Copies of this chain bind each other. A is one copy, B any other.
Amino acid sequence: MATLKDVAKLAGVSVKTVSNVVNGYDFVKPENRKRVEEALASTGYRPNLGARNLRRGRTGFLGLMLPELSIPYFGELAGLVLQAAQEHEWNVLIEQTLGTRERERNTLSALGPHLIDGAIISPEALHTNDFEDLAPGVPLVMLGEHVVDVPIDHVGIDNVQAARIAVRHLISLGRRRIAAIGAHPQRHTAAQRLEGYHSALEEAGLVPIPELVLPALRYHRANGAEAMTHLLALPEPPDAVFCFNDLLAIGALRAAAERGVQVPSDMAIVGFDNNEESAYSLPSLTTIAPDKAAIARAAVDLLRRRIAGGSDLEPEDVQTPFSLEIRNSTIA
């Protein structure tokens, strides 16, 4: 493989001159520039990024830590982050944690400044003190979950408000026994969505019914099906369900269908995330639609700012827009 040295020899100039041409330095005699460019072309020279970054003290890589690419929300988000990063000539290294604290801690501690310039993390199980323990020494931007007390940049939507809007929608349809699926003792996001749920009930003068709030350990389709099955077995089942993500809602849809419960007439369902598949489920799913592209862009921009500006900047909290996508799981 051709190096600067090879090109230099071929063009009859010094290594540095070739480097200057490669890096677009202005003052190179036209004739030499031409010779170098020909040599570059004929050798098919590609810079050795490792060496370049070693020299520059940068790596050119961004880390992206997320639970699982096979989860549609994260697959879609990762794709958008890749695109946003590419616009700034960053390569992205994706690390899957499967949502376990163990692996999230490992990943966090492995985020040496040597490998990446910064990371976008979407933790599910990290605790506040994990950040103190492991302080990875590179700029971080956190998505979604807002672990309290950790002073790092954050991008997300207003979960409380989004949940409130979702539940208000159900209330506006005349539903009164509204369940929630997805409560979780540790997840901050779950707490926020639950808060929005409760606040919407309250502002409508509805009394919360504790047994209609179901936990979900993981947010997969199976968990949603399980929870819905449970709800349908209650003496007085709900007439609507707000699921904390679309996968739970899809699972709930299936469990309802299996028991012959009609959606939306017997049971209205709202999801959260607007996965692509949710527009095609039967019935199609009403859901909170975060602007995922905006999230990806905001995260990459925050990281750029932080890498340029250093650690003395105040942590920023960017709220990205969202909308309620009304489909057939609430209105036939």
Contacts and interface: CB of A to CB of B under 8 A. Distances in A.
A319 interface: no
B47 A50 contact: no
A115 B61 CA distance: 11
Interface in A248-269: 250-251, 253-254, 257
B276 A70 contact: yes
B79 A70 contact: yes
Contacts of A21: none
Contacts of A316: none
Contact of A221 (B1, B225, B276): B276
A204 interface: no
A54 interface: yes
Interface stretch (A172-180, A234-242, A277-285, A303-311): A277-285
Contacts of A47: 112, 114
Given A49-B115, A112-B46, A282-B282, A94 B96 contact: no
Interface string A264-297: 0000000000001101111010000000000000
Contacts of A49: 114-115
Contacts of A79: 68-70, 96
B59 A69 contact: no
Given A46-B112, A221-B279, A225-B280, 20 more contacts: A1-B112, A1-B113, A44-B137, A46-B114, A48-B54, A49-B115, A50-B50, A50-B53, A50-B54, A51-B114, A54-B54, A69-B76, A70-B72, A72-B72, A75-B75, A93-B93, A221-B276, A221-B280, A253-B282, A277-B277
Interface of A: 1, 44, 46-51, 53-54, 59, 68-72, 74-76, 78-79, 82-83, 91-96, 110, 112-115, 137, 221, 225, 250-251, 253-254, 257, 276-277, 279-282, 284
5 contacts: A46-B114, A47-B112, A50-B115, A71-B75, A93-B93
